[in-house]
Every structure is written in structure tokens, then in C-alpha cells.
Amino acid sequence: MRISQKLYVRVAFSITIMALLVSLITSLFSYISGLEEKKTTNYSLVKQLAETIQKTAAISAYLVDSELGAEITTGLLSNDLVKGVTLSGDSEMLLTQGDINNVSEPVSIQLMHPFIPDTQIGILTLYPDDIYIQQQAQKASEKEVLLMMVHSIIIIFFVSIVVHKQLSRPLQKLTDDFAKIDPNMPQTMQMLSVKKRGKGEISRLITGINSLMHALQQTIRNERELRTKTEELESRFRLIFEQASAGICLLNEQNMITTYNPAFKSHFLVKGETELSSLNFPVLLNNSEKLQELLHVIRDKENAEQYTLDIECTIGTQTKWIHCLFAKLSEQRNTLRENQETLIEVILHDVTERAEKEFQTRFEADHDVLTYLLNRRSGERELNNALSECIQNDRNLVLMMIDLDKFKPVNDNFGHEAGDKVLTEVARRIKNRFNFKTDICIRWGGDEFLIARQIESFDQKQVMAQAQQMLQDIELPIKVTDKNSCDISASIGVVIGPSHGEALHELMVNADNTMYQAKENGRGQVVLFKNK
């Protein structure tokens, strides 16, 4: 980048143009005024010339002396300023010499009588040489113009040198130094050299640039550092986000997933697919309507709380349990933007295994290992619940206490395995008959079973018929080994809650007693509790 040439030349050129223009105008004025002045001067010179010779001319006119007159006129003509001379006496023209035509302003002086005062004796007329005068004036003006031009040129030369030295060269140096600076490389932002004693504008400019650059350098350095830090942090956060084992996603107001991490994707990806089946979060999970309600509730709550929930979902053919943590994202900035969306962050883990284990554990805790019926402990709890529910809803709870008859001989004759098989088969038959959702089937003891069913209103016939059918089911032969099967029976005591007891233990006692009554009556029969 060459600045000097341009600037230097431009300044010099401008000065030249200006100087020449001024010179020309001045010259023109000086020429015109010089011409006039010269003319006036020359005319007065001519007049003086005439006055010098006035006396002699007067004498010659007085004497009518042509010789003397000729001498005068020749003398006058020898002057460059004079083109023609006329010397005339009183009566007759004495002499005419030179060219007297085409003269604008002849200079005439009166010739006075040399001896008689106040008497005119003749006229001496000088015809100035206009062309010569003009030439003179022109020459003088030309000289002046030439001088002025030379003057101008010298001034231009020195001004150019000064401009070059004081302005262009420092500017060039500044520009060259400046060109070395690459804003992308702060290390190139070195201080520009400045004259130590410089107090001129350029020095101040350089100083200014230096301080600006210094500040800029600092800023850039700081910003780079900051950026590096930010990048590091960002990559760390990204790593956390990307590598997290927990699935993370953000939901907008419409419950659409706006951001999610790979773990999230892997949780919900159907095998063989590469994209999520839907970005609508609730749709991904089972029971989406309830989830939507929950999300709505979370959004509406003032205090941002966290909600955790285990949700079941079906991915393809697989059923998974997902543990979800919902958190409303609160804006960390001081001023909330208007109409800002409330985002919900969801962090979720696949808890299928744990859930299954939990189910298993709970199932094992609540159920009889052999028959898979409820065990007595959990059965009692269920019964309590069912009873209070029936009392609340003005319904009846039918309880059937079943005790197998002749079970011990089976154990004794065919072994425990056969006994277990009998128990299992009985349990299956019980469950088969009492398969309502609200039905409760319990293995109450060794060969004791308890069935509870909720009914709208007590109909003795119907209840007894059901009990009889159950008994008939139980009495069907049970195959205990490949060859052998056995027939067993049962004694069934039936009580109706809450008519036969408002408390469970009261009902149970009554049921037990009723069952024993059936045994006493000869086994293999159903007895309904009767109030005493």
C-alpha cells in the first residue's frame, strides 16, 4: 500500500495548480495594470522629454530655424518612446519627422516666446510609440509573470519537500507499520515507532493508535482467554450432556422435545429405527393423557418443584419403566422476557430392571410361593381395604373360608409333591372361578383358602350357588402323578360383611366357626353363617 506517492503527488499537484492559478490571475492583473501604468509612465516620460527640449524648440520656432528644429526633432526621434514629432511655429509648419499617423494620444506642449512673456510661438507635438510602449509593458509583464512562475515553482518545490518530509514520509511509515498489523494475530500488534521529541499531529496520532492498539490487544487477549475458557466449559458441559447415562430433554409449552441427548434417544429408539417415533413427549410414553395433565400442573405451579415419576412405556414390543424427573426451568436472568415459554427439563433413567425386581419382590412378599395366591399377611390387608370400601359404598363383601377335607392322606399317600400339586390345582380352580378384578383369593393357611368378592346386594341363593359351584370345582379329581389322581373335598363357611361383622377379625372368627360347623356337619358342604 503506497500512500506517499498519491498524497505527495496530490498535495504537490494541488499546490501547483493553485499557485499557477494565482500566478496567472495575478499576472493578468499585473499585466493589465502594468500596461496602463507603463503607458502612463511612458506618456509622462514623453511629456518630460518634450519639456526638456521645450526651450530650444521655442527658440527654433522663434527663429524659424529648420536646422535647429531638425536637430531637435531628430534628437527626439532617437528616443524609442517617440514615433513622430511635429514642430510648428506660429504661422507655418516647421518640421514633421517620423510617423505621426495612428497615434491615439499625441503629447503637445506649447512653445512660448523666449523673450516676450505669455506669448505662444509654436507647438511641439510628440507622437508616442504605442506599439513600443505596449511591447515594453508586455515585456515587463512577461518578466513579472515569469518571475512569479519561477517563484511559484520554487515554493512548490520546497512545499513538496516539506510535505514529503513532514507528512508523506511519516504517513508512509505509519501506513507501512500499520499494514504489518494483522488484527487476527495480536502478536503483530506491536507499538508503532514514534519520534521521541515529536509533538506533531502524526506523533500524536501514532501515540493514539498505540494506546488504542494496546487496549485492543488487551481486550482481544482477554476475550480469547475467555473464549478458551468458555469453549472448555462448553465442551465439558457438552461431554456431560452427551455422555450422560441419564436421558435429558427439554420440553416446550406444547410438550414437544426441543433438545435431547444421545442417552435420551437410545431410551426411546425402536430397534432398527434411526429417529424417534415422535417428538411429542407424552406420546412416547404410555398413559400420555395423564402425563399431559401432570405437565400442565407442573407448569401452573408457582414454585418450581421437582417431580419424580416412574412411567411405563412401550418401545416397539418392549415394555420399559422409565424413572422421570421433571423440573421447571427458571430463567436465571433478572428480567424475564415477555411471553417466555416455560421449559420443562426431563431427566430420565431406564429403571425397567429395578422395577421388575421390585415387582417380583413385592409379588413374592405378597403371594404364596406355591399357589401364587395372596398370602395371609397381604390378604388380610386386602380384605381390610375391601371391607372398608364396601362399608363406604354400601355394598356387601362375601367371604368364603375353604378348608380342604382329607388333604392329609394325600400328603401321606402320595408325598408332599402330590400335596403341593393338589394345592396348586385348587388355587388355579379358585382363581378360575373368582377372576374379577376386585376378587381376593388368599391361601390362608396350610390347606385353608379364603375368597372374598364384592357384591352390590346380598342374594343368599346366588351366593350359596357360587359357593356350591366352587365346591364342585374342588371336588373334581386332581391328577397328582402320571398314574394316580385323587378326589378331595372341602368345607366352606360363608359370611357376609358387614352384616355378619363390621370388623374383619369378627368376620374371620365367624367365617372360621361357620367352616368348622360345615366340618362338623359332615364335611364336603357349604354353610352360611347364621346369627345366633
Binding site for other proteins (CB under 8 A): 56, 59-60, 62-65, 67-68, 71, 114-117
In 3-state terms, what secondary structure has residue 122? strand
Q: Which is nearer to other proteins, 16 or 56 (CB)?
A: 56
Question: Residue 332 has which C-alpha cell?
Answer: 436465571
Question: Residue 517 has which C-alpha cell?
Answer: 360347623
Q: Which is nearer to other proteins, 71 or 176 (CB)?
A: 71
A 10 A CB-CB count for 9 gives 14
Q: Which is nearer to other proteins, 75 or 186 (CB)?
A: 75
Q: How many CA atoms are closer than 13 Å to the CA of 468, on its beta-carbon side?
A: 6
Task: Report whether 130 contacts 104 (CB < 8 A).
Answer: yes
Question: Residue 520 has which C-alpha cell?
Answer: 362338623
Order of all β-strands in the sheet with 396-405: 440-443, 448-455, 396-405, 489-497, 526-528
Long-range contacts of 184-190, Cβ-Cβ distance < 8 Å, separation of 24 or more: 186/217, 186/220, 186/221, 186/224, 189/213, 189/216, 189/217
Q: Which is nearer to other proteins, 116 or 185 (CB)?
A: 116
Provide the minimum distance between the beta carbon of 28 and other proteins in the complex, in angstroms, as a whole number.
48
Q: Which is nearer to other proteins, 59 or 373 (CB)?
A: 59
Q: Which is nearer to other proteins, 72 or 174 (CB)?
A: 72
Task: Report whether 45 contacts 37 (CB < 8 A).
Answer: no
Task: Report whether 402 contacts 447 (CB < 8 A).
Answer: no
Provide the minimum distance between the beta carbon of 155 and other proteins in the complex, in angstroms, as a whole number.
57
Provide the minimum distance between the beta carbon of 115 and other proteins in the complex, in angstroms, as a whole number.
4
Q: Which is nearer to other proteins, 58 or 298 (CB)?
A: 58
Please give the helix or strand (H or E) that residue 136 lies within, else none: helix 130-163
Provide the minimum distance between the beta carbon of 116 and other proteins in the complex, in angstroms, as a whole number.
7
Question: 122 — phi, psi (to 5°)?
Answer: 180, 180
Provide the minimum distance between the beta carbon of 117 and other proteins in the complex, in angstroms, as a whole number.
8
Q: Which is nearer to other proteins, 94 or 492 (CB)?
A: 94
Provide the minimum distance between the beta carbon of 147 and other proteins in the complex, in angstroms, as a whole number.
45
Provide the minimum distance between the beta carbon of 23 and other proteins in the complex, in angstroms, as a whole number.
52
Provide the minimum distance between the beta carbon of 55 and other proteins in the complex, in angstroms, as a whole number.
9
Q: How far apart are CA 177 and CA 165, in angstroms?
A: 17
